[in-house]
């Protein structure tokens, strides 16, 4: 772990400079690219690379970026707190946590009217089914396995698959081989389809909704059973190029919808993620500087408009980022 005490010293103090030099040397030994390392001075803000000497003088002249200074992890410089066995493990633990925390059930919501009660009962039933699945997920990978449960093994493997862009076919092959290599009575899934189905039961899956080939409508609700688009009359189904026959059941276009409410609920159940989700409630800047959307005028105008909404710590706002968005290829950004 990097020594961070020096950043809080006065910058004219000699100890500050020697601390900075020490820091730069440790970092450059591990992370230098062409002899340059990421500079965290207030000017470069971890966006630019400079030589060791330049970084030291930037730090002495400008000081370190305030936000980075108080970070417990200087992650731009390879310093992760609690990261003993590599970043992968931390990542895995985080993803796993999200699934595991799903076991905490919802708070009892006050019932208003019978419809809501019925809905809540339905939810409860779903919750019970879910708990059964969770118990299954916590089974050891094979009877004497101590390192992995069915869930942790599945999540770990699936993560490697997605990160490295493995095809479903290659993952199928791997799963089949692995389950043969593992001791008898192992509970590893043997196909990508099974893995996806299993993970989907944690509300982390998505819905497929057929769409009009010209994007006029989605075939859901009232249009769930229709075969042609009511607006442009094009067929919902693909046609065979050679025979011209309509292939019913094979849609032209599919929208993959990731239901957000169930995801947010699961996220709030995770002790660690929950803290991050509520971060904006207590961390508005007090020095008048804009560091996060929470410090913006737009955020404040929302607060003024919906006071009861912002009184709840767990209020969430969804943002749309358009950085690098270039709809008409007008600029080479
Ligand atoms: Zn700099
Ligand atoms: Zn249409």
Quote the ligand 2 centre to 233 CA distance (angstroms): 6
Tens digit of pLDDT at every position of the chain (333 positions): 788 889 989 999 999 999 999 999 999 988 888 889 999 999 888 888 999 999 999 999 999 988 888 877 787 888 766 444 455 556 666 666 666 665 554 444 444 444 545 555 555 666 666 667 777 788 888 888 888 888 889 888 998 898 888 999 999 999 999 999 999 889 998 899 988 888 877 756 678 899 999 999 999 999 999 999 999 999 999 988 888 888 888 999 999 888 888 788 877 877 778 888 999 988 888 888 888 889 999 899 999 999 999 898 889 988 877 777 776 766 654
Nearest-5° angle of CA 295, CA 67, CA 13?
Answer: 140
CA 51 to centroid of ligand 1, rounded, Å: 10
Nearest ligand (C-alpha, residue 24): 1
DSSP 113: H
Q: Which residues of 46-62 are buried (b: 16+ CB within 10 A; e: fewer)?
A: beebbbbebbbbbbbee
Nearest listed ligand to the Cα of residue 214: 2
- Among residues 203, 309, 205, 178, the alpha carbon closest in space to that of 266 is found at 203
Q: Which residue has the tokens 């709809």?
A: 327
Contact 38, 76 (CB under 8 A): yes
Cα–Cα distance, 125 to 148 (Å, whole number): 29
The DSSP call for residue 202 is: I
Three-state DSSP class for residue 249: strand
The closest ligand to the CA of 234 turns out to be 2
> In the 8-state DSSP scheme, what is residue 80?
-
DSSP 183: P
Which candidate, 27, 109, 106, 139, places its Cα nearest to that of 268? 106
Give SS3 for 209. strand
Distance 239 CA to ligand 2 centre (A): 16
Residue 252 corresponds to which tokens in the numbers above? 């032209």
Position 301 scores a pLDDT of 92
C-alpha of residue 1 to centroid of ligand 1, in Å: 22
Distance 5 CA to ligand 1 centre (A): 19
- Between the CA of 116 and the centroid of ligand 2 the distance, in Å, is 36
CB within 8 Å of 171: residues ≥ 6 apart: 157, 161, 192, 195
CB atoms within 10 A of CB 98: 19
> In this structure, which ligand is nearest to the CA of 219?
2
Q: Give the Cβ contact number of residue 74 at 10 Å.
A: 22
């Amino acid at each position: 772990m990097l020594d961070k005490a020096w950043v809080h010293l006065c910058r004219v103090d000699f100890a500050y400079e020697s601390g900075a030099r020490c820091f730069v040397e440790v970092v450059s030994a591990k992370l230098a690219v062409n002899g340059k390392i990421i500079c965290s001075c207030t000017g470069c803000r971890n966006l630019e690379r400079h030589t060791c000497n330049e970084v030291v003088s930037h730090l002495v002249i400008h000081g370190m970026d305030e936000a980075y200074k108080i970070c417990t992890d200087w992650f731009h410089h390879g310093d992760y707190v609690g990261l003993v066995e590599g970043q992968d493990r931390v990542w895995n633990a985080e993803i796993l946590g999200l699934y595991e925390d799903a076991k905490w059930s919802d708070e009892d919501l006050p019932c208003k009217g019978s419809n809501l009660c019925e809905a809540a009962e339905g939810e409860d039933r779903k919750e019970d089914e879910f708990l059964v699945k969770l118990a299954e997920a916590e089974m050891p990978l094979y009877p004497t396995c101590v390192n992995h449960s069915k869930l942790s093994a599945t999540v770990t493997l699936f993560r490697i698959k997605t990160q490295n862009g493995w095809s479903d076919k290659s993952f199928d092959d791997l799963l089949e081989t692995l389950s043969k290599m593992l001791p008898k009575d192992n509970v590893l899934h043997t196909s990508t389809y099974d893995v996806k189905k299993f993970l989907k039961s944690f509300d982390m899956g998505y819905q497929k909704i057929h769409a009009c080939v010209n994007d006029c409508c989605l075939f859901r609700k009232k249009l769930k059973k229709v075969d042609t688009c009511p607006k442009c009359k094009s067929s919902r189904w693909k046609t065979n190029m050679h025979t011209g026959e309509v292939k019913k059941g094979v849609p032209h276009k599919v929208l993959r919808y990731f239901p957000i409410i169930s995801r947010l609920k699961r996220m709030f159940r995770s002790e660690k993620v929950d803290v991050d989700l509520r971060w904006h409630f207590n961390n508005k800047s007090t020095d008048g500087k804009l560091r996060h959307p929470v410090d913006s005028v737009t955020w404040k105008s929302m607060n003024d408009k919906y006071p009861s909404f912002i009184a709840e710590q767990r209020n969430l706002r969804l943002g749309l980022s358009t950085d690098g968005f270039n709809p008409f290829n007008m600029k080479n950004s």
